[in-house]
Amino acid sequence: MPTWLILILVGVALVILGVATEIGQFLIWIGVIVVVASLIIGLVRRSRT
């Protein structure tokens, strides 16, 4: 399972349970940033070849 997916799932679980909602939101944002960065890096690599 990819790291970004784990971060998002844990963040959503924390937000839904109401436990450490700030940490949950932080994990969700980190997961989203990792996904976006991965997509951008993948597109850059494809365009170079």
pLDDT in tens, 24-45: 899 889 999 999 999 999 999 9
Give the per-residue pLDDT at 40. Answer: 93
- Buried b or exposed e, range 19-36, using 16+ CB within 10 angstroms: eeeeebeebbeebeebbe
Query: What does the pLDDT average to over 2-21?
Result: 88
Give the per-residue pLDDT at 20. Answer: 80
Q: For the whole model, what pTM was predicted?
A: 0.74
Give the per-residue pLDDT at 49. Answer: 67
Give the per-residue pLDDT at 19. Answer: 82
